[in-house]
Structure 1
Amino acid sequence: MQSKYLIYLLLCTCFAAGTGCKKWLDVQPQSDIREKELFTDESGFKDALIGTYQLLATKPAYGENLTMGFVDGLGQRYATTSTTHPFYGTARYDYTNSGVKSYISSVWGTLYKAIANVNNILVQIDDKKNSFTGNNYNLVKGEALALRALLHFDLLRLFGAAPVVDGNRPSIPYVTTFGNKTYPLIAVNEVIGACLTDLSAAAELLGTDKSIRVQYNDDPFLSYTRNHMNYWAVKGLQARINLYKGDKTAALTAAREVITDGATSFPFVTSSAAAASSNRDRSYTTEQLFCLYAYKISDYADEYFKTTSANGTPVLYTTNSNMATLYETASGGSSDLRYVNLFASYTSGYSSTKYWQDDIVKNNSNYDYLRGIIPVIRLSEMYYIAAECTATTTEGVGYLNTVRSNRGLSTLPANISAATLESEILKEYKKEMYAEGQLFYYFKRKNTTRVDGSTINMNDATWILPQPDDEVEFANRF
């Protein structure tokens, strides 16, 4: 019997006031009339897309699980020795644990809800093309296609085998329609191909306007475009997916386009902005190709990365010795901007301050762009991809040294070995993307024996998350 998967199409609601999403709140997938009311004009399509971004910034998705929380637990980023720790089972890849199963279910369900939302946009937008003004049809459709690729790819990285292990193994459904039906599980390489097809179409549409707007615009949809899947985010995602696929030539091409042609739009953070006593740029906002705005980010950060106990440590912390090793403080790493400015010291270790909001002035248009930022694709990753994919070690060192220099570190010798370069790239991923959920994917892509920091030997049962129990039941896959 062919494996099938049932995707429940539940639409999201808006989570912040003032975004013009009132019509979105009334949408029900069963009601064709209400869908038509939502998509009668350009504003309805914008509201639907904004609502999807807001859904993705919540805890079950990138607001926590896919960044600072669950996936970084899989990546061994935190000290989880206590059996009461929220990520104790996660860090041990115990997918039978009830808490871990809850994380898995919420990720799967939320991302497929978001996919349903963008598909609803995509199946209707062409019929309403004449209702759009200016370039907005291209932007809305391009962003929707790009989001569909992003979400399927992250589902694949969790619930599918790595291409280096078996690109032909069935993995997840790639859903491109809107409606209650079953969808077949398709091979890993087919999912990757579908992602790249959507991104190619998105790049063509979004390439009509490559500008990055960092302030409020008269049209809110055209404001803060780092918080949208813009053209450069599409290029960054193409680089990331092609590297995961093993196509280093295509990955390098996309990464280089961002590094060269997009350089003026994404300047490296300055040392003064990174160390400012107020309005500190903790997420290095200017370097974000794509980030989400989470209006409850301070709640998430306070829950995990702060403590009210004088002698306590936050829920998510790393030990003093791990911190010293991570940033190589014994060999010059104490000058690293990230080490100096992005951690708070407690009795038993350090916790990340990347998401703290305390020192950002509220209701000030000059600093609003610093608030609530959750990194999804950042500039430095393009340099790491380029460093890994270049034809010569010397050129790779050059890309890596660009990031090191901008982080306050000394440059590496140009004549290091390929093995040393690979080791240094991994060190940079660890330093740069702490609390961002990317490290587990690095080890999975390379199919390493272990994830650094774990004593568990990895295999299919630990690399590949099981699909939620209720989904398996509804799909009749036993």
Structure 2
Amino acid sequence: MNQKTQQKRGRITILKFGYFVLFSLALIGTGGCSKMLDLPARDKFPQDILFKDEQGFIDALTGIYIGMDKPNNGPTEGLYTNNLTAGMLSIMAYNYTNASSSSASSGLYANASRYNYEDSGVKKEIAGIWAGMYNNIANLNNLLRHIDEKRGLFTRDNFYRVKGEALALRALFHFDLARLFGQPPLTGADAPAIPYITKFDIQTKQFVSLNMAVDSCIADLQSAKTLLSQTDTTALKMGSHDLFSSYTQNHMNYWATQALLARAYQYKGDHTNAIKAAQALIGSNKFPLITTNVASSSNTTRDRLFSQELVFSLYSNKVTNINNSLFNIPNTALTLAATNKDLIYKGSTGSATDYRYISWFDANTPGVNVPSKLFQDAKLPYFLQNNIPLLRISEMYYIAAESAGRAGDLGAALSYLNRVRVSRGLTDLTTTTVIDQEILYDEIMKEYKKEFIQEGQTFLYYKRWNKDLAAVTGTTVIVPKGAYVFPIPDKEIEYNH
């Protein structure tokens, strides 16, 4: 990183608001079994009113979950519902072979597929990601500033849940900012990455290194885990009359916090702690791998997401609109060419029996495969609707497999990897063909390509390994130097000066 870039990454100024501003706040206490983000909204309250009772804190936290969808701060597309999942990050991982020629979203995706971060549309989305994340973080810090002094307002285990989820979300947002705006960890762990902000004030915040940012994420997650362990961790709940405790798969719950810890430890290179965190999820048996193709088109109900495996998913009532804008536009839908689909799912150790190959694509016309993981089928049960996957149990098996491989235990590594493969309709790999660590890592990468299509994690996996993007994606565009690092938005640079 040159000196000018380091100066640009030197500090950030956070403004203090007289109001707790959220993009929308759900009215949660109105009964029924709806998901908490599925209800009417209110948008701005003075802090002394918002934090006067338990419900105000719950409303504030709900507003932050809503802010993970479409922040009202400039971007065209949704945050975790588009740019960081099925949209920009999936495009940059070459999940769709026609993105560079697609006219969808007014050329935004064509430019994203070329890693053209100077394009006005791409710059706007990157600036929106930065602003949206830090706005959410500011709101979390404001909530956390008030919650301890109001502990007596809370009933049941809600104090632990609200504070624990807030800390876990703060870690999630910072971690993803660090992965997007920081250098690849293999080459830039000590370079300035992002500010890690834990106070709601007007002080200028210095950028910290990638390593320091990830360490701070881990500290927040450990605190969150301790708090959330005081809540009901026996099962993820579905609908109930207490909306805040309903559909906890859509919360940064105790198990989601544990899963994010595994991901953060792995990104840092602490594979000893990564496998421990991953094993805790696997050993809990809360998220069993599927045993049949629940996404089959012959099923009355198609569970395309393998929902029982989702540790944390974001609820959004805009999923149908997102699908229509990305994958259901005549002649311009984002697609995966049949040859590329075959290469990913059938090549080498793959097979046409893979449930993902069979059921995650709709062939609207011969040879055209539209990724359909997020499609909302008719008669889909309510609890399966409108979910965006953010943390999966399959990733815990991949983390455990890589960590075991790094420790030299090839047999254990294959055991973890094979459990996912078999659950997807594939056969076991053996040490006869997977004879060393490098082949193991290559097999894990193949699984990331298959498993996380439309979820955004593949690009970040490539970045963690500092892979040659042209080689691993097969893109024909010229990949510019620095494609892995999102630029700091212009407005932030202006404020710093």
Cα distance, 1:440–1:8 mapped onto 2, change above 3 Å: farther
Provide the secondary structure at the position in 1 that maps to 2:258: helix
8 Å CA contact retained: 1:302, 1:356: no
Residue 464 of structure 2 corresponds to 445
TM-score (norm 1): 0.91
How far, CA to CA, are the matches of 2:110 and 2:480 in structure 1?
Answer: 19
1:96 matched to 2:152: no
Residue 277 of structure 2 corresponds to 254
Q: Pairwise mapping of residues 4-83 of structure 1 onto structure 2 (< 5 A)?
A: 4-7=11-14, 11-14=21-24, 25-27=43-45, 34-58=46-70, 59-79=77-97, 80-82=99-101
Provide the secondary structure at the position in 2 that maps to 1:12: strand
CA-CA distance at 1:459 after TM superposition: 7.1
How far, CA to CA, are the matches of 1:159 and 1:256 in structure 2?
Answer: 29
8 Å CA contact retained: 1:161, 1:463: yes
Counterpart pick for 1:226 among 249, 254, 271:
249
Residue 462 of structure 1 corresponds to 483
8 Å CA contact retained: 2:293, 2:355: no
8 Å CA contact retained: 2:27, 2:42: no
CA-CA distance at 1:290 after TM superposition: 0.7
How far, CA to CA, are the matches of 1:411 and 1:45 in structure 2?
Answer: 49
Cα distance, 1:369–1:128 mapped onto 2, change above 3 Å: same
Counterpart pick for 2:383 among 357, 369, 381:
369
Unaligned runs of 5+ in 2: 1-6, 31-38, 71-76
Residue 86 of structure 1 corresponds to 108
1:283-324 deviation digits (Å, cap 9, x = unpaired) = 1111111110011110001111123x4xx3x52111111011
Cα distance, 1:23–1:305 mapped onto 2, change above 3 Å: closer
How far, CA to CA, are the matches of 1:385 and 1:17 in structure 2?
Answer: 38
How far, CA to CA, are the matches of 1:373 and 1:19 in structure 2?
Answer: 22
Segment drifting more, 141-150 vs 315-324: 315-324
Residue 379 of structure 1 corresponds to 393
8 Å CA contact retained: 1:214, 1:369: no
Cα distance, 1:19–1:9 mapped onto 2, change above 3 Å: farther
How far, CA to CA, are the matches of 1:167 and 1:18 in structure 2?
Answer: 42
Q: Which amino acid aligns with 1:247?
A: D
How far, CA to CA, are the matches of 1:76 and 1:281 in structure 2?
Answer: 25
Residue 31 of structure 1 corresponds to none
CA-CA distance at 1:212 after TM superposition: 3.0
1:269 matched to 2:290: yes
Residue 378 of structure 2 corresponds to 359
1:421-475 deviation digits (Å, cap 9, x = unpaired) = 1111011101111000001111110112224223567676211110111111112
Provide the secondary structure at the position in 2 that maps to 1:25: strand
How far, CA to CA, are the matches of 2:479 and 2:217 in structure 1?
Answer: 27
8 Å CA contact retained: 1:60, 1:103: no
Residue 161 of structure 1 corresponds to 183
Residue 402 of structure 1 corresponds to 419
How far, CA to CA, are the matches of 1:57 and 1:233 in structure 2?
Answer: 18
How far, CA to CA, are the matches of 1:271 and 1:454 in structure 2?
Answer: 33
Cα distance, 1:460–1:189 mapped onto 2, change above 3 Å: farther
CA-CA distance at 1:61 after TM superposition: 1.0
Residue 245 of structure 1 corresponds to 268
Provide the secondary structure at the position in 2 that maps to 1:40: coil
Segment drifting more, 331-340 vs 320-329: 331-340
| % identical equivalent positions | 38
8 Å CA contact retained: 1:398, 1:414: no
8 Å CA contact retained: 2:91, 2:109: yes
How far, CA to CA, are the matches of 1:37 and 1:72 in structure 2?
Answer: 41
How far, CA to CA, are the matches of 1:456 and 1:19 in structure 2?
Answer: 52
1:321 matched to 2:339: yes
Residue 36 of structure 2 corresponds to none
Segment drifting more, 409-418 vs 78-87: 78-87
Q: Which amino acid aligns with 1:447?
A: N
How far, CA to CA, are the matches of 2:196 and 2:382 in structure 1?
Answer: 36
How far, CA to CA, are the matches of 1:338 and 1:6 in structure 2?
Answer: 45
Q: Which amino acid aligns with 1:346?
A: N
What do you get for the CA RMSD once the two structures are aligned?
2.2
Q: Pairwise mapping of residues 264-303 of structure 1 onto structure 2 (< 5 A)?
A: 265-271=286-292, 273-275=294-296, 277-303=299-325
Aligned residues: 459
Q: Pairwise mapping of residues 115-264 of structure 1 onto structure 2 (< 5 A)?
A: 115-209=137-231, 210-260=233-283, 262-263=284-285
1:238-288 deviation digits (Å, cap 9, x = unpaired) = 11011111111111110011111x21x212234253225333111111111
How far, CA to CA, are the matches of 1:72 and 1:23 in structure 2?
Answer: 31
Residue 73 of structure 2 corresponds to none
How far, CA to CA, are the matches of 2:352 and 2:62 in structure 1?
Answer: 41
Residue 337 of structure 1 corresponds to 355
TM-score (norm 2): 0.88
8 Å CA contact retained: 2:171, 2:217: yes
How far, CA to CA, are the matches of 1:232 and 1:467 in structure 2?
Answer: 32
CA-CA distance at 1:89 after TM superposition: 1.3
How far, CA to CA, are the matches of 1:460 and 1:245 in structure 2?
Answer: 23
8 Å CA contact retained: 2:262, 2:277: yes
Cα distance, 1:101–1:437 mapped onto 2, change above 3 Å: same
Q: Which amino acid aligns with 1:13?
A: F
How far, CA to CA, are the matches of 1:175 and 1:457 in structure 2?
Answer: 36
1:383-416 deviation digits (Å, cap 9, x = unpaired) = 0000100031111111010001111111111442
How far, CA to CA, are the matches of 1:25 and 1:334 in structure 2?
Answer: 49
Unaligned runs of 5+ in 1: 28-33, 362-366
Cα distance, 1:83–1:377 mapped onto 2, change above 3 Å: closer
